[in-house]
């Protein structure tokens, strides 16, 4: 059996999120634009289903309190939510505090792939390339294509 397929099924069984029209699926992201000479922080929420912007605001900081305020203002904490984020270590606690057991949190696969690639040297051996290829394809199911 194909290893990634087995792995994917195990993960799916552990973290199965039942399909529901009622779960709000969103992407949360931050950028760091400069406005004039001042550093600003752009917090953004995107609807995963419609690919439209839910909220996009500039802030003077990106403290946990600022993030919580932004999320509370733009998402209903009483409704189930599926949020995709990068790997900022603060997010799990922030999200859990706001959404509790109504939360499903997933890390962005693009950011995961960047981390995988960065763990390998620039000039890799064929063995390292093969390992990198396998790691980058853990969540890819060729049977579905």
> How many Å apart are CA 45 and CA 29, to the nearest integer?
7
pLDDT of residue 100: 94
Q: 122: which DSSP letter?
A: S
Angle between helices 126-136 and 109-118 (to 10 degrees): 170
* Phi, psi torsion values for 114, nearest 5 degrees: -60, -40
Inter-CA distances, 2 with 15, 70, 135, 143, Å = 20, 42, 13, 10
> How many Å apart are CA 145 and CA 131, to the nearest integer?
22
Count the neighbouring beta carbons within 10 Å of the beta carbon of residue 127: 8
Percentage of residues in the chain having pLDDT higher than 70: 81
- Average pLDDT for the chain: 85
More confident: 73 or 38: 73
* Span of 35-39, 95-99, 133-137 with lowest mean pLDDT: 35-39
Q: 143: which DSSP letter?
A: G
Give 21's pLDDT tier (boundaries 50, 70, 90). Answer: low
Entry pTM: 0.73
Token match 């059996």: residue?
1
Residue 47: both structure tokens together: 């609807």
> How many Å apart are CA 81 and CA 83, to the nearest integer?
6
């Amino acid at each position: 059996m194909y290893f990634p397929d087995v792995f994917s099924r195990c993960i799916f069984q552990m973290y199965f999120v039942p399909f529901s029209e009622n779960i709000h699926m969103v992407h949360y992201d931050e950028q760091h634009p400069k406005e004039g000479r001042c550093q600003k922080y752009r917090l953004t929420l995107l609807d995963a289903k419609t690919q439209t912007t839910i909220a996009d605001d500039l802030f003077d900081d990106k403290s946990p309190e600022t993030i919580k305020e932004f999320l509370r203002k733009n998402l209903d904490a009483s409704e189930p939510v599926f949020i995709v984020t990068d790997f900022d270590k603060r997010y799990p606690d922030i999200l859990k505090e706001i959404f509790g057991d109504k939360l499903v949190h997933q890390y962005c696969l693009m950011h995961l792939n960047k981390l995988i690639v960065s763990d390998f040297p620039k000039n890799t051996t064929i063995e390292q390339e093969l390992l990198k290829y396998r790691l980058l394809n853990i969540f890819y199911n060729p049977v579905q294509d």
